[in-house]
Chains A and B, each alone.
Chain A
Amino acid sequence: MNGEAVFFTLFTVSACLGALAVVVSQNVVRMAFWLIICLGSTAGLFFLADADFVGAVQLLIYVGGTLVLLVFAVMLTSSGPYVKIETSPGEVILAGMIGLLFLFMVIAAQTGIDWEGTGSRIAEASEIDPPDGTFDTGAEGHTLRPIGMSLLGLRPDRGAAASGTLFTGYLLPFEIVSVHLLVVLVGAAYLARAKRRREA
C-alpha cells in the first residue's frame, strides 16, 4: 500500500464523513465546521488528481473565503437562544430514504458504464488529439501554465498546428465570468447595505 493509496483513502473517508455530518448535525456553526473538513479533504483529493492549481484555489476561495462569509452570516442572523429551527423527524426520515435511493441510482448508473471504452470512443469520434506532453499536462501536476494560457485564449496542450483544427481557449468565458463576479458583488453590496431595521 503506497502513500498515494493511503492519502486517497484518508481524504475519501474524511470528505464523505464530513458531508454526512453536515447533513446530520443540527447546529449551523457545527455544519460550517464539518463543511470546512469536507471541502478541505476535497482539496486534498484535487491535489492527488494532479490538479494542484484547482486544489489551491479550492483552499483559498472556498475554505478561506466562502466559508468565512457563511460564518459571518450565521453570526449576523442568529436568532434568540430559545428559538429552534428544526425539521420534523418524519420529513428527515423521508428525505433520508429518498436520498439513499438517489445515491444507489447514481452509483448503479456510474458502475454500469465502461469508462475506458467510452473515453476512447469519444476521442475517436471527435477527432481530437489527446494532449501532447509538451507542457506536462496533468502528468505531474504542472497545471498552472496550461490553465493560464487557455484562460488567455491559447491552447498549447492540444497541438493545434499538427491536426489543422483550431482549438480556442477560454478567453470569452473568462471575461464573462469576471464581469459577472463584479456585477454580483456590486449587487450584493447594494442589497446588504446598512439601513434601519423595520419595527417588527
Chain B
Amino acid sequence: MQPSLSGYLLIGAVLFTCGVVCMATRRNAIGVLMGVELVLNGANVNLVAFSRYTTLGIDGQIYSLFIIVLAAAEAALALAIALNFYNNHLTIDVDKASSLKG
C-alpha cells in the first residue's frame, strides 16, 4: 500500500489504542510505563504525518522532537519513583501502592 496521510493516522490510532489498553491492564509499573511510551509514539506518528502531508511544514517535526525529549524525562523520573517504591515495598505491583488510600 502506498504511504498516505490516512495510513499514517491509522498506525497512530493503533499505537495509541494499544498503549491505552496496556496502561489500563498492566499491574507491573514498568508495563504501565511502556504503555505510556506507546501512546506518545502514536502521537509522534500523527505529528510527523501532518508535517509531511499538509502545509504544516517542519512545525510538526519540531513538536515531535519536544515530545521525544519530554518522554525521556518522564521515563527517567518514573523509573526513579518505581525504584524507590520497590525499595520501600519490595514489589512493583501498582495495586499494592495503596498507602495513601483513605
Contacts from A to B (Cβ < 8 Å) = 4-5, 8-9, 12, 15-16, 19-20, 22-23, 28, 31-32, 35, 38-39, 42, 45-46, 48-51, 53-54, 57-58, 61-62, 65-66, 69-70, 72-74, 76-77, 79, 83, 85-87, 91-92, 95-96, 98-99, 102-103, 106-107, 110-111, 115, 119-120, 122-123, 128, 130-131, 137-138, 143, 146-147, 150-151, 157-158, 170, 173, 177, 180-181, 184-185, 187-189, 191-192, 195, 197-198, 200
Taken together as a complex, chains A and B put the C-alpha atoms of A102 and B8 apart, in Å, by: 17
For A46, the chain B residues whose CB sits under 8 A away are: 44-45, 48
For A146, the chain B residues whose CB sits under 8 A away are: 58
| Number of B interface residues in the complex (CB < 8 A) | 74
Interface of B is mostly: helix
Are A157's CB and B57's CB within 8 A? yes
With A42-B45, A119-B55 in contact, is A53–B61 under 8 Å at CB? yes
Are A128's CB and B55's CB within 8 A? yes
Are A54's CB and B75's CB within 8 A? no
With A4-B3, A16-B14, A79-B92 in contact, is A86–B52 under 8 Å at CB? no
Once A and B bind, how many residue pairs between them come within 8 Å at the CB atom? 237
With A45-B11, A73-B79 in contact, is A99–B68 under 8 Å at CB? no
A-facing residues in B30-89 (Cβ within 8 Å): 30-31, 33-35, 37-38, 41, 44-45, 48-49, 51-55, 57-58, 61-62, 64-66, 68-77, 79-84, 86-89
Distance between A123 CB and nearest chain B CB, rounded to angstroms: 5
Taken together as a complex, chains A and B put the C-alpha atoms of A197 and B89 apart, in Å, by: 9
Contacts from B to A (Cβ < 8 Å) = 1-3, 5-11, 13-22, 24-31, 33-35, 37-38, 41, 44-45, 48-49, 51-55, 57-58, 61-62, 64-66, 68-77, 79-84, 86-93
